[in-house]
Amino acid sequence: MGTIDGLPPLRDVIRDHGLVAKKSLGQNFLLDLNLTSRIARIPGDLSGASVLEIGPGPGGLTRSLLAEGAGRVLAIEKDARCLPALADIASIYPGRLQVLEGDALEVDPLAHLAAPIHVVANLPYNVGTELLVRWLSPDSWPPYWDSLTLMFQQEVADRIVAQPGGKVYGRLAVLAQWRCEARIALRLPPEAFTPPPKVSSAVVHLRPRAEPLYPADPEVLSRVVAMAFNQRRKMLRSALKGLGGDTEALLTGVGIAPTERAEQVPIEGFAAIARAIAAR
Ligand code: SAM
């Protein structure tokens, strides 16, 4: 049976290029092009769109993004062993795939790609959360990206979409949902990957809100949320002591009981605390 683009099946690509998966680079490959195409369709119509892909590896998702019509794909890959396989893909899509060898944490995509950009990635687990926090904390809002479609370990995905009151509600949920609509678009068992990781995975889809849900200074909000959840078992009056001033009065002033714990406080409450601090 043929593939979506006439290139060899990914199993052959991996064998021919000797791409034995490296654990240190979080390499768990998706070899089923039907599956990668399902992921590539999550952002919606990609015709002519600019796409940033982090960690293309042997290029399964890359091939699906291009087959779905992406106008330009910028793919950043740390493992030089993958470059020949990615060059084969570039050769059948002239001018549409640019591959950069490097660390995604150090490359500025805007030096190579014009906004608006869809970010799509089966992320290396070791850098996924850090990249997400950066994408959620740009200097100005709305950000340069139109959507984020990101594979995470299921536990991280659940934290991103969590609601107040649950054990997994925390900093990631507040940061993500304050500025974005976030949903789990797809859940995948370990067997979907080669080699299979220890845990299940999930694809999270985030779209930026035109305005954050509630007004607040992003840096102050981020500091408050980090402090509150750093000691999530403690009551807020203790957890937020480091903010200085009369914490009890500050909390009461915004209608939050000083005895509440961070995991009970909705995003609106954290935004109110951040505004009160900014106003001091
Ligand atoms: N996209 C491919 C797929 O779905 O089969 C590979 C996904 S694999 C989970 C993660 C990929 O990210 C690997 O190819 C790995 O080499 C690459 N990677 C790891 N750390 C990276 C970093 N800091 N910057 C860019 N790529 C990285």
Per-residue pLDDT tens over the stretch 228-252: 999 999 999 999 999 999 999 999 9
Would the CB of 273 count as within 6 Å of ligand 1?
no
Least confident of 122-126, 142-146, 257-261: 122-126
Q: What is the pLDDT of residue 198?
A: 95
Average pLDDT over residues 167-172: 96
Is the pLDDT confidence value at 126 over 90?
no
What is the predicted pLDDT for the residue at 115?
87
Task: Pick the residue whose CA is nearest to atom 12 on ligand 1.
Answer: 55
User: Is the shortest distance between the CB of 57 and ligand 1 below 6 Å?
Assistant: yes
Ligand 1 atom nearest to 55, measured from its CA? 12
Share of the chain above pLDDT 70, in %: 100
CA-126 nearest atom, ligand 1: 20
Ligand 1 and 56: CB distance under 6 A: yes
Q: What pLDDT score was predicted for residue 202?
A: 98
* pLDDT of 1 over the 70 cut: no
Q: What is residue 124's predicted lDDT score, i.e. its pLDDT?
A: 83
Q: Is the CB of 128 under 6 A from ligand 1?
A: no
Rounded Cα gap, residues 246 and 136, in angstroms: 30
pLDDT tens track for 25-65: 999 999 999 999 999 999 999 999 999 999 999 999 999 99
Check pocket membership of 26 for ligand 1, CB cut-off 6 A: yes
Distance from the alpha carbon of residue 78 to the mean position of ligand 1, in angstroms:
7
**237 within ligand 1 shell (Cβ under 6 A):** no
For the chain, the average pLDDT equals: 96
Query: Quick check: CB of 109 below 6 Å from ligand 1?
Result: no
